[in-house]
Amino acid sequence: MPMPSYDVIVIGAGPNGLAAAHRLASRGAKVLVLEGANTPGGGAGLAHLSYNLDARVEAAMNLRDHGLRWMSTNLATTALSADGMHLRLEGALGDRLTGNCSDADHIAWAQLRRRLLRFAAVLSPLNQMTPPRIARKAGNHLLQLAKVGLRARMLGASEFRELGRILLTNVHDLLDDELTSPLLKGVLAFDATLGGWLGPRSPNTVLPWLVRLSGQTAGVQGVLGLPKGGMPALAAALARSVEAAGVTLRCNARVIRIMIEAERAVGVTLTSGEEVRAPRILSAIAPAVTLLDLVGPRHLDTGLTTRARQLKARGGTAKLDLTLRALPDFRGANLKDRLVIAGSEHAVETAFNPVKYGRTPDRPVMEIVLPSAHDPEAPHHLSAIVQFAPHAPADRDAARQAMLAACMAQLETQAPGIGALVQRAEILMPFDIEDRYGLPGGQWHAGELSVEQMLFLRPLPGVAQYRGPIPGLWLASAGCHPGGGVSGTPGWNAALAMEAAE
């Protein structure tokens, strides 16, 4: 039987692999997507809220027609307080504050919030671009880059100066300069460092936050979206759209090797031994895995191999799932909100401290979503993203147990009696996430999103324009510019770069 032939093989059916596959197929390419797991979605299964789904992807893939419904496109946040004096943030990035917050902070936050959203909006066009190359005659999109620079300058002299001042500073100082309310500073510091391996006092925490704030949901910047059926439903819609576009999607097909012949990527080998060939291979899994494991050092230069080995990929985020007998009571908090336990910016920093030394925090900070609060039919379930968890503790099982116990203790302080409601508890530590999702270090961005690994340095200098180090190989994962979240942006950008190269 003759093998079906493909123009492009996409490795990994995460949001980026699917986005790239759709774009390429819609331009006439015959595309095969190979996914190691038994369902598509990749890292989307880890997230529980959407904050940066690429509008280009959502529109072109027609996700609504493929079943995407938003339960909320503007989920409110309640910052929990153990005395029941919560703080509620509604609208895009806390447009309206109610509850535990000083009058002065209402005014100060309105200013800071506007500024952050404006700065993020100025930088956001960079997300949709191939990062520039620092080289002569590199064929950069100078006009687009100039536009970003011009828009930044058009903020006015004082705002432009302020952007320069805060860009590489830390979240703690930024918040401390303007605000006084611990709950407000806590929830903001939590959001700013979500998914990273940085505490609020770590240098360079503002820029990754601005990248996060440049994301949109349903055309509105800085809001949180909750898909009906959760993030897996979003992944399913992406997969259906891709199949409707004529892409062949194969699950349970794990690639163990990218075949290289005559110094060109020519196909892939699966764990089953099966070989599939195509002139172009697009890897939408972590760059370090792609380069070091699938390609292998003998096909790469020594310097690149070393830099790939040194790519920073430390995950500090754990995922907690509780099956509950009934809805818990967080001292009257609206259970449809995203609930955040981060009593102050110091609580976030304190939760980060032990992780630096491979230990678990006593009082982790977390965001909680209760899908059954939105859907009375659904079984009661609490999903939490917990920070910070060590990615490489000395004893994994002990760390997992300690982390779970610390999470339950934290929850108990905010929702007394919740422990008795728990039917089943599961916590995925960063190393569990690595085992299950293939993300090195359990890092949500497939490589830390920190200043030294952003833009033309992401994933590595020389391969930051989606073109891999070997002819025929392209990189398109969250480890590439502009980073993670369930955005599809790196995949879409990579597909555009491939088209431009033809």
Are 247 and 22 contacting, i.e. CB atoms less than 8 angstroms apart? yes
Residue 161 makes contact with another protein by CB under 8 A: no
**Across 404-457, where does the E strand assignment appear?**
422-428
Q: Is residue 55 packed enough to be buried (19+ CB in 10 Å), middle (13-18) or exposed (0-12)?
A: middle
Map tokens 């919740």 to a residue.
418
Count of CA atoms in the C-beta half-sphere (13 A) of 191: 25
Pairing verdict, β 365-369 and 275-277: unpaired
From candidates 270, 292, 455, 457, binder to another protein by CB under 8 A: 292
Q: Which stretch binds another protein (CB under 8 A): 188-196, 236-244, 303-311, 472-480?
A: 303-311
Alpha carbons 262 and 375: distance in angstroms, whole number: 56
Question: 94 — alpha (psi -120 to 50), left (phi > 0) or beta?
Answer: left
Site string for another protein, 222-261 (x = CB under 8 A): --------------------------------------x-
> What stretch of H or E contains 57?
helix 55-60
User: For the residues of 320-334, what is the DSSP string, one character each?
Assistant: EEEEESS---STT--
**Whole-number minimum distance, CB 263 to another protein, in Å?**
5
**Whole-number minimum distance, CB 456 to another protein, in Å?**
16
Q: Which stretch binds another protein (CB under 8 A): 50-58, 125-133, 299-307, 360-368?
A: 299-307
CB closer to another protein, 71 vs 304: 304
From candidates 298, 377, 424, 452, binder to another protein by CB under 8 A: 298
Residue 299 makes contact with another protein by CB under 8 A: yes
Site for another protein in 435-494 (CB under 8 A): 462, 469
Residue 303 makes contact with another protein by CB under 8 A: yes
From candidates 4, 302, 397, 452, binder to another protein by CB under 8 A: 302
CB closer to another protein, 63 vs 260: 260
Residue 296 makes contact with another protein by CB under 8 A: yes
From candidates 72, 77, 305, 450, binder to another protein by CB under 8 A: 305
From candidates 55, 304, 425, 457, binder to another protein by CB under 8 A: 304
Q: Phi and psi of 15, rounded to 5°?
A: -55, -40
Q: What is the CA radius of gyration of the chain?
A: 22
Residue 139 makes contact with another protein by CB under 8 A: no
Alpha carbons 7 and 25: distance in angstroms, whole number: 9
Site string for another protein, 103-132 (x = CB under 8 A): ------------------------------
Alpha carbons 206 and 178: distance in angstroms, whole number: 14
**Whole-number minimum distance, CB 145 to another protein, in Å?**
23
Size of the site for another protein (CB under 8 A): 17
357-366: burial string, b at 16+ Cβ within 10 Å, e else: eeebbeebbb
Are 267 and 281 contacting, i.e. CB atoms less than 8 angstroms apart? yes
Q: Which stretch binds another protein (CB under 8 A): 128-136, 249-257, 294-302, 421-429?
A: 294-302
Binding site for another protein (CB under 8 A): 260, 263, 292, 296-306, 309, 462, 469
